[in-house]
Copies of this chain bind each other. A is one copy, B any other.
Amino acid sequence: MQDLELTEFFPYQVRIFYRSVSDSVANIYAAKFNLSVSEWRIMAVLGSSDMFSASELVARSSLGKVNVSRAIKGLKAAGYARRDIDFEDKRRAVVRLTAEGRQVLATLIPLVKAREAELLEGLEPHEQQLLLGLMQKVKHNADRIIVDSRDTPR
C-alpha cells in the first residue's frame, strides 16, 4: 500500500498551522471577554460602520447565516450589541454595537493587532506578501476544486 506520512501531508500542515495561529488570537478575546470566534468576528465587522443587517454581516464575515444569527444573539446577551427591526422591511435586522460593545472592541483591537505583529515577527515585509500571495493561490485552487466536485448542487 502506498504510504502517506501525515506530517508531510500539506493539508495536515495547514491544519496545525491554522490551529496555532487561531489559538494565539482566540486566547485574547476568549480569555478577556469570553467571546467566541464568531462573536469576535461579528464585533470586528460591526465596528467598521454604524449598523448592519444580518445578511450584510454574513457577506462580510465569511460566516454562515446560522452562525451570524447566533453570534448576534450572544453579543446581545453580553450587552455588546443591539438588534432592532428595520422599519422598511420587517424581516430585516438592524444590528449595531452598544457603547459597551464599542468600548470592548476599542480595547480588543490594539491587542489583536499587536498579536498579529508578534505572529509575523521575523518575516520581512516581502516575505509576508509572499506568504499571503501563496495562501491566496492555494485557496483559489481549493475553491475551484470544491465547486467542481459539487456536481450535485447542495
- Seen from chain A, the residues whose Cβ lies within 8 Å of a Cβ on chain B are 1-6, 9-25, 27, 41, 44-45, 47-48, 60-62, 102, 105-106, 109-110, 112-113, 115-116, 118-123, 127, 130-132, 134-139, 141-143, 145-146, 149
Majority SS of interface residues in chain A?
helix
Copies in the complex: 2
Most chain B CB atoms below 10 A, which of A11, A25, A127: A11
Assess whether A1 is in contact with B106, with CB atoms less than 8 Å apart.
yes
Instruction: Indicate which residue in B3, B48, B123, B132 contacts A13 across the interface (CB closer than 8 Å).
Output: B132
Write 8 A-B pairs (CB below 8 A) sorted by A numbering: A2-B106, A2-B110, A9-B116, A13-B132, A18-B18, A24-B143, A131-B131, A134-B134
